[in-house]
Each structure stands twice: as structure tokens, then as C-alpha cells.
Chains A and B, each alone.
Chain A
């Protein structure tokens, strides 16, 4: 099992979510986050003074999938969240030791 964490543009959430649903990947946890990448944010100007705004709003998706489905989900996020401009975000993939469905007590791949 894999955990796929994607940091994406907030305005891409809807298309990513819908595309994931089409490949039957329904479970997702969404958080509004702030962050920065290599470019250290953007500059804003108020009343003649420049300010570096170094944390920008982003959206974080957490998705747990079985190993065989991981590449599909990653490809789908990549295709739908990409604009090619600075600030598209990143995807992190990490192994998951176990999963428990609280309602039934099921464990492992059945619980995903």
C-alpha cells in the first residue's frame, strides 16, 4: 500500500478530484496548506513598498491506494494538476505499513 501526498494549486482541486473519481479512486483527504518552493514565493507591492510573500496557499491531497493502483493515481494527478508554470507543486509517494477501517476493524488491502 502506498500513501500519495500531492501539493497542488488550490484552483486545480476540482479537476483533480473529478479525474480521480473517474478512475475509481474515491477516498481522499484535503487540507488547505501554505508553503513555498525553490522560488520563495512572490513579491507584492502596497503603497510603494515591496513585500516578499514567501508562503503561498496550496492544497494538499492525501490518498492511500493499493500498490497496483499507485501509478494510475499519480499519472491522473500529474495530467490534471499540471500547468507547466512555476508553482504547480509536488507529489510524494511513501509506503504504508497497515490500514484499519474503524467501522469494521478490517485490516490491510481490504481496508483501503
Chain B
């Protein structure tokens, strides 16, 4: 088969994967977060994910894709040619995945960008101005996400260095986890920081859609329909199931009772942790990664958060930041050359891989943390980041949107 000619099997799989990943944000993340908040904030919470998807969709086709995935300039950024997708025909193939059209490649990368920024909303729900969020989304995508995705996936310097991130452990999860932490610290705590889900059933549906859509996220990151996608698919499911089971065990040990919220949180941690590793590791590797990750995220939630007193409303840092960090490190440990020839981890005789992983992690932490802080400062001084205390008390659905989620 010609590796630089359109392959209909690959194209069909990428069309499907892209639609699957879209489902993760709308309504996956929206419902997962929406169920966890108090009922007076449910619409505002859902809306933050919905609008993040639309804003990202528009800026992506105008200029963001061209900067993230255009021809590399000095390892730093894409060249930005073909703004508005002008000059690109339906038969143009993706330079970075030459068996599929560039249009579906761009759409696939778009749904990744959208979910990354939508995930951040979980840390700030209940107190961030919606107008500030509308400005934050395009700025953050442009300044933080576009360069990082170029460096790791668009042929930039981290990719050339040899950092491994199959589907976004650093680009997506560590990235949004760090941004979430910085933004929630800048915003300050809510008056009522209790986590009392108003409709945990929503969150179960949301988590289930995340799990389902993640097959597109991870197996789709093979950018082709074949053995590697299949291997990533099985690794993803294995780690997720292991994450759910290990969280349930921690729950039983700590409180005597397994909880549903714990189970779905563990599953999402498993999904996050396997994301950078899924196309490099064996099923055994996936089991270890998934099983271990719940311990790290549980510790971040129940020890780190109260100790430092930041109000990460829905634990975005603990779930995505910490499990993403563990996944990125674990990729450097468990990458097996017989799964994917591009990845040789420490356990297969390549200790240098850990260095590349640490450079990748450090870069994402500094870039995402630093720029998110700058953005928070600028938005706070211009639009204002935080709602009035009265609005927070009364709930954002009625005060910011003049709607309420339930007519009872």
C-alpha cells in the first residue's frame, strides 16, 4: 500500500474518531461537571463546555490550526499559511498523516483543543464571570495550546527531541490541569466549597461518554486504522477499568464504602494516565499505569488540596494534572519497542527517554502555568474574572443567564 496516498479505511476511522472525541466535550465533560455542581449552577457549568467547543471550532479553522500544524518554523510554531483553509482542496492530504485528508486531520486536532480548554472550566465553576470565560477560551487556545501542540505533535522541538506523548498526556491533560490550578488559585475560593453533587447520575452519563469517546481520542491518535490503533484501544480500556477498581479499593479502605463518584473518578484518572502511553505500552503496562494512577490522584485530592487550601472546584488538577503527569512519566518507563518502534522506555533499556519526558513535562508546566497566570491577570484587570458575591450566593444560572435548570 502506498503510504502517501489516500486510504479509505484510515479516513473512515479518523472521521469516526473525530466524532467520538467531539462527544467527550459535548456533552461528556459538560454532563460530568454539570452533575457535580449545585443545582443553581448547572446551566452555567454545561454552558462553559458548550461555548468552549464552539469558540475553539471557529478560531481553529481561521488561524489556530495553521499555527499549530502548519509547516514548522524553527521548531517553535507552524507557518500560518492557508488561513481560513483557503487554498486547501478536498483531496489535499495531511502532511503529518499522509493517508488521510488534511481536513479531517484538522478536525481531529480541533476536537482535542476544544476538550482541553473545556476541562479547565471544572476548576473555576461557580464563581468565574462568563464574559471572562468567553475571552479566556480563545486567548488560552492561541497562546498556550497552539504552541504546545505544535512542539509535541506538529513537528516542533519537543517531538524532534524525542518526547513521547501518544494522545495528549502533556499536551491535553497536564496542560489543562496546570492551567486549572493557576486559574482557581487566582480566582480564590468560593464561599461554599463543599462538593455535594446535585445530580450524580448526570456525572455517570458524562463519565461513560468520556470513556466511550476516549477510544477515538486514543486509538484515533494512531492516525490510521490498524494494529497500533487496536493496541491503543485495548490499552485504554484496560487502564480505565483498572483505575475504577483501584479507586473503589481505596474508598473501601478509607471509608468502608465504595462510592459511585469514586468509581467514575478512578475511571477518568485511568483514561488520563493511559493517554500519553496507549500507543507505546503493553497490556501489562496499561494495567500498572491504570491501577497506580488512582492512588496519586486520590492523594492530590484528599491531602494536597486541603493542605494548600486552593479551591479546585471539581478537582481538575488532581485528576488531569496529576494523572497526566504520572502517565507522561509512565510512558518513559513502559514504552515497548515491539508495540511501537518509535518508543523505547527505561524498562526496555533506554533511560534517556525519562529525560525527554521530564523536559516535556517541565516545559508544559512552565508554559501553561506562566501564560495562564498572565492571562488571568490581564482579564482580571480588564473584564474582571470573578462574579459578585451576591451572584455567587444566588447561583450563576439565574444571575448570569436568567435561566434555571429545574422548574420544580
- Chain B nearest CB: distance from A25 CB in Å? 27
Task: Enumerate chain A residues within 8 angstroms of B257, measured Cβ to Cβ.
Answer: 45
Question: Which A residue sits closest to B297, measured CB to CB?
Answer: A47
A32 to B195, CA, bound (A): 24
B248-259 Cβ-contact flags toward A at 8 Å (1 or 0): 000100110101
Chain B positions within 8 Å of A103 at CB level = none
Chain A positions 34 through 54: 1 when the CB is less than 8 Å from some CB of chain B, otherwise 0: 000000000011111111010
Shortest CB–CB separation between residue A106 and chain B, in angstroms? 34
> A64-85, CB under 8 A of B: which get 1 and which 0?
0000000000000000000000
Question: Are B196 and A46 closer than 8 Å at their CB atoms?
Answer: yes
A47 & B301 in contact (Cβ 8 Å cutoff): yes
Flag whether B41 is at the interface (Cβ < 8 A): no
Contact B196 A44 (CB under 8 A): yes
CA distance A44 to B315 in the complex (A): 18
Q: In angstroms, how far is the closest chain A Cβ from the Cβ of B65?
A: 37
- Residues of B within 8 Å of A48, CB to CB, are 251, 254-255, 262, 298, 301-302
A46 engages B259 (CB within 8 Å):
yes
| Contact with A49, one of B197, B265, B302 (Cβ below 8 angstroms) | B302
Q: Is the CB of B262 within 8 A of A47?
A: yes
State whether the Cβ of B194 lies closer than 8 Å to any Cβ in chain A: yes
Q: Per-position contact with B for A11-48: 1 when CB-CB < 8 Å, else 0?
A: 00000000000000000000010000000000011111
What are the residues of chain A within 8 A of B195 when measuring CB–CB? 46-47, 49, 51
Q: Could you tell me if B197 and A46 are in contact, using CB atoms closer than 8 angstroms?
A: yes
CA distance A47 to B302 in the complex (A): 7
B194 touches A51 (CB 8 A): yes
**CB-nearest residue of chain B relative to A45?**
B255
Asked if B358 CB lies within 8 Å of chain A CBs, one says no
Cα separation A50 to B302 with both chains bound (whole Å): 11
User: A51, B302: Cβ atoms under 8 Å?
Assistant: no
B196 pairs with A51, CB closer than 8 A: yes
Q: Within B266-324, which residues are at the interface with A (CB < 8 Å)? A: 298, 301-302, 315
Chain A residues with CB under 8 Å of B254's CB are 48
Tell whether B261 is near chain A: CB-to-CB under 8 Å.
yes
Q: List the A side residues contacting B315 at CB < 8 Å.
A: 47
B residues less than 8 Å from A44 (CB atoms): 196
The docked-state distance in angstroms from the alpha carbon of A45 to that of B257 is 9
A111 to B46, CA, bound (A): 50
CB of B302 within 8 A of CB of A46, answer no
Question: CA A32 – CA B255 in complex, angstroms?
Answer: 32
Say yes or no: A45 contacts B259, CB within 8 Å.
yes
Minimum CB–CB distance from B33 to chain A (whole Å) comes to 14
A47 contact set on B, CB distance < 8 A? 195, 261-262, 265, 301-302, 315
Give the distance in Å from the alpha carbon of A45 to the alpha carbon of B255 in the complex: 8
Q: How far is the CB of A9 from chain B (nearest CB, A)?
A: 19
Chain A positions within 8 Å of B259 at CB level? 45-46
Residue of B nearest to A52 (CB): B194
Inside 8 A of B408's CB, which chain A residues have their CB? 32
Interface residues of B (CB under 8 A from A): 194-197, 251, 254-255, 257, 259, 261-262, 265, 298, 301-302, 315, 408
What are 21 A-B pairs at a CB distance below 8 A? A32-B408, A45-B257, A46-B195, A46-B197, A46-B261, A47-B265, A47-B301, A47-B302, A47-B315, A48-B251, A48-B254, A48-B262, A48-B298, A48-B301, A49-B195, A49-B302, A50-B255, A51-B194, A51-B195, A51-B196, A53-B196
Q: Please list the 5 inter-chain residue pairs (A to B) with the smallest Cβ-Cβ separation, ordered nearest first.
A: A48-B302, A46-B195, A45-B255, A46-B261, A47-B301
Knowing that A46-B197, A51-B195 are A-B contacts, what are 16 other residue pairs whose CB atoms are under 8 Å apart, sorted by A's residue number?
Answer: A44-B196, A45-B255, A45-B257, A45-B259, A46-B261, A47-B195, A47-B261, A47-B262, A48-B255, A48-B262, A48-B298, A48-B301, A48-B302, A49-B195, A51-B196, A53-B196
